[in-house]
Amino acid sequence: MRQRSMLFHYLLRSAILGSFSCLIVRLVQEGRLHYYIAPRTELYVKLAALGLFLVAVCQAFIALQSYDAKRRETCGCHHPIASSIWKNTAVYSLFLLPLGLGLFTPDTLLGSGMASLKGVNLTSSALVRGADSAAASTSVVPETSIQPDVTKETETAEAAELPDATAPPTPAIDPLQALFPYDTYTELHAKLGMKLYQSDDAVTINEFGFIETLTTFDLYRDNFIGKRVAISGFVYREDTMKDGQFVISRLAMLCCSADTEPYGILAVIPDGQKLADDTWVQATGTIGLTHYLGNEIMELQIDEIKTIKQPKSPYVYPDDAYFDAMLGKSGTVQD
């Protein structure tokens, strides 16, 4: 009886772990793994599938040893199994429940329902302004800006008024850099902002660089008033929004679906209330400013909009590689 109990438990463990491994393999083969985790963690999950398969094989091997009396005597070790039915049920349920959800529930894209729970982020610049007020002390001044002269306390006011013929000429302030001041946290955004500011073309905000571009616009929103922008995302609205207003939003995923957070831009168009929530749209318009819930935020004044199909990869991901692509690895603006 004891041998049968041990055989059952070890075979069940082997089946559970093997099923998890097969589930991951199936998600990879069907291209559905991105619904659950970010691309940066896919390699680790694939390696975990291999590890789970090996452990499942080990559990099956132990099951055979526990059933074979001769091998069990040769082993000389004991693998006690809890006798409590409730304890075993509780332990196995921790594995069977997520396995059942993965195997028998359809893949569903998180949308306006998630946005309504977490709230959409319309001021993404707060993420890079610094963790505390100490960030202000790390401000970086562009090399071409004017640096104040340091005078000795013993110099008299009359001597200070005399021109110094030997002093080097003061460098002129670069008007473009003056528009994009930065600190330690926002240097790359400032350089990206300069590049976008100088472009006469409409800025297309794609999946790659979605958060980085929106954050740059929000940091230097006054500089981009009137800038034409093309963006796509799903429609989300709140009860506090005016008629015609809605958010063009995307869900940003850092590691997995549990940490997704909605990002987007407030948009306005006549009859915008006719667009249903979770409708995917591609819109083009100009950047303006408005006030919402007591905050000054960007508003996309739409002049062209069309509905589109949900993209194959609906999520967006923070990726510093976007700065490398736009500015070069040296951090300088690339033409």
Q: Given a cut of 70, is residue 18 above it in pLDDT?
A: yes
Delimit the domains of the chain by residue range. Answer: 2-108, 124-130+171-327
Distances (CA, A) of 4 to 7, 11, 15, 66, 81: 5, 10, 16, 8, 11
Query: How much is the pLDDT for 184?
Result: 85
What value does the mean pLDDT of the chain take?
79
What band does 82 get if pLDDT is binned at 50, 70 and 90? low
Q: Which residue has the higher pLDDT, 1 or 307?
A: 307
pLDDT in tens, 183-214: 888 899 999 999 999 988 899 999 899 999 99
CATH of region 124-130+171-327:
2.40.50.140
Average pLDDT for 251-277: 87
Q: Which residue has the higher pLDDT, 284 or 100?
A: 284
Average pLDDT for 207-233: 93
Query: How much is the pLDDT for 6?
Result: 78
Q: What pTM does this model have?
A: 0.70
Task: Give the 3-state secondary structure of the chain.
Answer: CHHHHHHHHHHHHHHHHHHHHHHHHHHHHCCCHHHCECHHHHHHHHHHHHHHHHHHHHHHHHHHHHHCHHHHHHHCCCCCCCCCHHHHHHHHHHHHHHHHHHHHCCCCCCCHHHHHHHCCECCHHHHCCCCCHHHHHHCECCCCCCCCCCCCCCCCHHHHHCCCCCCCCCCCCCHHHHHCCECCCCHHHHHHHHHHHHCCCCEEECCCCHHHHHHHHHHCHHHHCCCEEEEEEEEECCCCCCCCEEEEEEEECCCEHHHCEEEEEEEECCCHHHCCCCCEEEEEEEEEEEEECCEEEEEEEEEEEEECCCCCCCCECCCCHHHHHHHCCCCCCCC
Distance CA 149, CA 223 (A): 30
- Maximum average pLDDT range among 29-33, 142-146, 155-159: 29-33
Average pLDDT for 4-25: 88
Q: 108-122, 225-239, 255-269, 319-333: which has the minimum mean pLDDT?
A: 108-122
pLDDT in tens, 121-154: 888 777 676 543 333 333 344 443 334 444 444 4
Query: How much is the pLDDT for 5?
Result: 76
What band does 156 get if pLDDT is binned at 50, 70 and 90? very low
Q: Given a cut of 70, is residue 31 above it in pLDDT?
A: yes
Q: Which residue has the higher pLDDT, 137 or 217?
A: 217
pLDDT in tens, 297-312: 999 999 999 999 988 7
Query: How much is the pLDDT for 149?
Result: 47
Q: Given a cut of 60, is residue 285 above it in pLDDT?
A: yes
Beta carbons of 63 and 14 less than 8 angstroms apart: yes
| Sign, Cα dihedral of 318, 321, 327, 329 | positive
Query: How much is the pLDDT for 280?
Result: 93
Q: 48-52, 146-150, 160-164, 253-257: which has the minimum mean pLDDT?
A: 146-150
